[in-house]
A and B are shown apart, each in its own frame.
Chain A
């Protein structure tokens, strides 16, 4: 199984809502990532988890809250988002967080904040 599964595929939420994005992998990877991608732009790193611990937070606003319940799961909790947060949110995993390892990406969650 070389898949990273993200749910939901699409999400529309209001600015006062609380929602969560989910990501799952069963490749035994010990590093997991959240990226944000705006239209026609490259993915931008948000968070890195290494061995279930948050190792990198790219100065992401606190309305985005990551969680890694176990080595296979990664969540992104969303609260009080703004319309400019609308984007494709991509989860990825790699064997570990050392440089030079291939990242496997999920299909993304297309988020629209209204």
Chain B
């Protein structure tokens, strides 16, 4: 079953702008990961944040986690056309049987 819900479902921005997407989940988690998927292809791991962490950076990516609100955000700064993709959050934790469960995804279009 789907654990995370992502918001917005779709996002269209100009190159150079920042893109922010949010993920909310229902049950307690151990870790939250973000993945990118280019059109109809495999998923690529972007970043993992543990439940005891609040913020993590990787290049132009910034992820926050608020376990009290059961939510996470992914910020892509200075977006590029190549960032056009679908972005999924994925959670794991005992309540989900320790399985990786994906949210609905945000489709991001970066216009040149």
- Residues on A facing B (Cβ under 8 Å): 4, 40-45, 48, 56, 88, 90, 92, 97-100, 102-108, 110
Contacts and interface: CB of A to CB of B under 8 A. Distances in A.
A100 B102 contact: no
Contacts, number: 57
Interface string B20-63: 00000000001101010000111111001010000000000000
A53 B93 CA distance: 21
A42 B30 contact: no
Contacts of B97: 56
- Ordered nearest first, which 8 A-B pairs have the shortest CB separation? A42-B102, A105-B42, A99-B92, A100-B31, A105-B43, A107-B42, A102-B45, A99-B98
Contact of A107 (B41, B50, B103): B41
Contact of B88 (A42, A100, A102): A42
A100 B42 contact: no
B101 interface: yes
Contact of A104 (B30, B40, B45, B100): B45
Contacts of B48: 100, 102
Nearest to B45: A102
Question: Does more than half of chain A's interface fall in helix, strand or loop, or is it mixed?
Answer: loop
19 contacts: A40-B107, A42-B88, A43-B43, A43-B88, A45-B100, A45-B101, A48-B99, A56-B99, A88-B40, A92-B43, A99-B31, A100-B30, A100-B92, A102-B33, A103-B33, A103-B43, A105-B35, A108-B41, A110-B40
Contacts of A44: 102
A10 B92 CA distance: 30
B14 interface: no
A114 B32 CA distance: 38
